[in-house]
Structure 1
Amino acid sequence: MFNAILVEKDEQGYRARHTRLDEAQLPAGDVQIDVAYSTLNYKDGLAITGKGPVVRTFPLVPGIDLAGIVTHSDHSAFKAGDAVLLNGWGVGEKHWGGLAQKARLNGDWLIPLPTGLTARQAMAIGTAGYTAMLALLALEKNGVTPAGGKVLVTGANGGVGSFAIAFLSRLGYEVTASTGRQEEAEHLRQLGAAEVIDRAQLSAPGRPLGKEQWAAAIDSVGSHTLANVCAGLRYQGTVAACGLAQGMDLPASVAPFILRGVTLAGVDSVMRPVADRLIAWQRIAALVDDGLLNSISREIGLGEVIATAGALLDGKVRGRIVVDVNR
């Protein structure tokens, strides 16, 4: 038996509970893991509360991230005792995820825990930090460098935004952070933001083209914010789009693309090939330290997950939530 968060939907309605499950209930997979840590992401919050159509099959253990130790493997790349990491692949949506003490998964979804990182550190980074690094890699692929000018980060107080600021600043970029929580401005400056602006400057309908302000941007917000970011990029600027906190619509004009040569680079973290994941995590491991991770994350136990999920969706959580599934 093991502890888990279980999401169910039946004639009694939609609900999540902290419960005990039998190992025999684990879904099919060729690698079994004793989970050490998981995380609580925005998508997990939607899955737990039922406020978004995230869960595709019931019952389901949510949790799109996990790190732990392999206890049994029929996969050629892994053996018992290996430390492993997982992000995405539909885990926590279609397949049982990391908010439990045990998991059984497809070994193709796993990567070795990066050298230099503990399981807890990896989960302090989680999908948020991994996505932020994929966005940064997308900017670099399009020729963005620190010498090119300011880089804007929207949704700055979220997990992706926080890591994007930290990664960019540690690589020498001048970062502008956009946030709706001005009381957190000092925290953003500590992460490395040179300037903090109110998200209201970007969140309402704007003009097809605006003042050229930023050489590049990482956007986790979407909708009018992304449209205004595109309109405010400098000539041949690039924006890496990786989220939809404001909405999945894009009420934009083609003007930035055909008049300024702006590039809109989409960033998917869920189905990313393993080779890309390894590159991203190697880059992350070289940039982070306990000081950064402790400033961005806090830890809770499995029993606190359901209550914290509601606070997360209400915008009351800053940065990353690490879940110790064994307490």
Structure 2
Amino acid sequence: MMEKSFKAMVVSEAGNKQYRRDIVQRQIKDLPEGNVLVNVHYSSLNYKDALSASGNRGVTRKYPHTPGIDAAGVVAESTDPTFKIGDQVIVTSYDLGMNTAGGFGQYIRVPAGWVVPLPDGLSLRQAMCYGTAGLTAALSILHLVNHGVQPAHGEILVSGATGGVGSIAVSILAKQGYTVAAVNGTTDRSDYLKSIGAQRIIAIEDAVDTSGRPILSERWAGSVDAVGGDLLATTIKSISANGVVTTCGNVASPDLPINVYPFILRGVTLVGIDSQNCPMALRQKAWNKLAGEWQITQMETVVEEIPLNELDRRIDKMLARGSKGRVVVNML
């Protein structure tokens, strides 16, 4: 076993339901058990990481803890023949960064079943430009495509479009020839949304129906939703016949105030996206798409790279809803 210390962000209880974040030295021997030890080169910041880093017990049960649900790096040790020292790999989701020490440390140790070989066409840094957000966006679009939603069928609505999942979904859909309508945030970022491929910008007040009607005029061929709540309900009621809505977030609300009419009168399909535990074959297919025909050439426009010592400030900014696009953490 490798004997080495490494840098990591550690979140610990400070009393009175307060939590503190420190960059400390950890020992590899103290990492959890697993088949594969990975030297993390890059991670990324997700909303779930911000929750874990602020003491949210719904995400992380025990502290002190190192968050980071995304990691890309090089295999340093492996007891599984699938991986050898020097292999470049991606680890996202499962329990990484939730209750297993995550990618905000320079080393992680995980089960081999969590590890995805880095696809040809992606660098480690590019993989973290996508991260769980990119994987989630790719899974969402795969479901739209697999259900037969084509560019000619009409506009695709993307909610939470300034966030990580939404930004990547807008960019991929636009690249594939879809007409994308993006829901703007409470802060006007229409210029940003247009720059990544949105053809139409929808204000939040225009995307949420308050009439209480059980079904609305057909408006969208499909949707990638990352918000939930009333916006998702309105979207479902506005989808064209046999359209598809994917949902992956609940930042607005986990509740869905809707009836069955869109489903039984229009054949609307609602697909939940579980990027955390999706099957490995589907996970690899999504990563291969991101490395190939869905790769976003203008990815740098939605990505900001920071060092580990700037992560604390960016977590606070994300919790205050002040983030847009993706934040990649350079762990080297």
TM-score, reference length from structure 2: 0.94
* Amino acid in the other structure paired with 1:2: F
Q: Contact 2:215 / 2:261 at 8 angstroms: preserved in 1? A: yes
Query: Are 1:217 and 2:206 matched, yes or no?
Result: no
State the Cα distance separating 1:12 from its structure 2 match. Answer: 6.6
**Distance (whole Å) between structure 1 residues aligned to residue 57 and residue 231 of structure 2:** 21
**Distance (whole Å) between structure 2 residues aligned to residue 297 and residue 253 of structure 1:** 38
* Amino acid in the other structure paired with 1:322: V
Match of 1:284 in 2: 290
User: Which structure 2 residues correspond to residues 96-245 of structure 1 after superposition, within 5 A?
Assistant: 96-181=101-186, 183-203=188-208, 205=210, 206-245=212-251
Q: Contact 1:167 / 1:287 at 8 angstroms: preserved in 2? A: no
Query: Are 1:252 and 2:258 matched, yes or no?
Result: yes
**Distance (whole Å) between structure 2 residues aligned to residue 195 and residue 44 of structure 1:** 31
Q: Contact 2:175 / 2:294 at 8 angstroms: preserved in 1? A: no
Query: Are 1:35 and 2:45 matched, yes or no?
Result: no
Task: Please give the secondary structure, in 2, of the residue aligned with 1:216.
Answer: strand
Task: Please give the secondary structure, in 2, of the residue aligned with 1:193.
Answer: coil
Superposed CA RMSD: 1.6
Task: Please give the secondary structure, in 1, of the residue aligned with 2:11.
Answer: strand
Which deviates more from structure 2 when the two are superposed, residues 196-205 or residues 279-288?
Answer: 196-205
Match of 1:70 in 2: 75
State the Cα distance separating 1:202 from its structure 2 match. Answer: 2.9
Gaps of 5+ in 2: none
State the Cα distance separating 1:318 from its structure 2 match. Answer: 1.0
**Distance (whole Å) between structure 1 residues aligned to residue 57 and residue 167 of structure 2:** 24
Gaps of 5+ in 1: none
Match of 1:9 in 2: 13
State the Cα distance separating 1:10 from its structure 2 match. Answer: 7.1
Q: Contact 1:219 / 1:226 at 8 angstroms: preserved in 2? A: yes
State the Cα distance separating 1:11 from its structure 2 match. Answer: 5.4
**Distance (whole Å) between structure 2 residues aligned to residue 201 and residue 52 of structure 1:** 35
In the superposition, relative to structure 1, how do residues 60 and 182 fare at CA in structure 2: closer, same or farther (>3 Å)?
closer
Task: Please give the secondary structure, in 1, of the residue aligned with 2:202.
Answer: strand
Q: How many aligned positions are there? A: 326
| Cα shift readout 1:123-172 (whole Å, capped 9, x = no counterpart) | 01111111001000111121111111111000110000001101111111
Task: Please give the secondary structure, in 2, of the residue aligned with 1:49.
Answer: coil
User: Which structure 2 residues correspond to residues 44-55 of structure 1 after superposition, within 5 A?
Assistant: 44-51=49-56, 53-55=58-60
**Distance (whole Å) between structure 2 residues aligned to residue 148 and residue 162 of structure 1:** 22
Q: Contact 1:180 / 1:200 at 8 angstroms: preserved in 2? A: no
**Distance (whole Å) between structure 1 residues aligned to residue 325 and residue 38 of structure 2:** 27
Candidates 282, 293, 299, aligned match of 2:299: 293
In the superposition, relative to structure 1, how do residues 260 and 193 fare at CA in structure 2: closer, same or farther (>3 Å)?
same
* Amino acid in the other structure paired with 2:180: V
**Distance (whole Å) between structure 1 residues aligned to residue 135 and residue 222 of structure 2:** 19
* Amino acid in the other structure paired with 1:213: R
Which deviates more from structure 2 when the two are superposed, residues 33-42 or residues 141-150?
Answer: 141-150
**Distance (whole Å) between structure 1 residues aligned to residue 58 and residue 206 of structure 2:** 30
**Distance (whole Å) between structure 1 residues aligned to residue 12 and residue 84 of structure 2:** 32
Identity of aligned residues (%): 40
* Amino acid in the other structure paired with 2:175: R
Task: Please give the secondary structure, in 1, of the residue aligned with 2:298.
Answer: helix
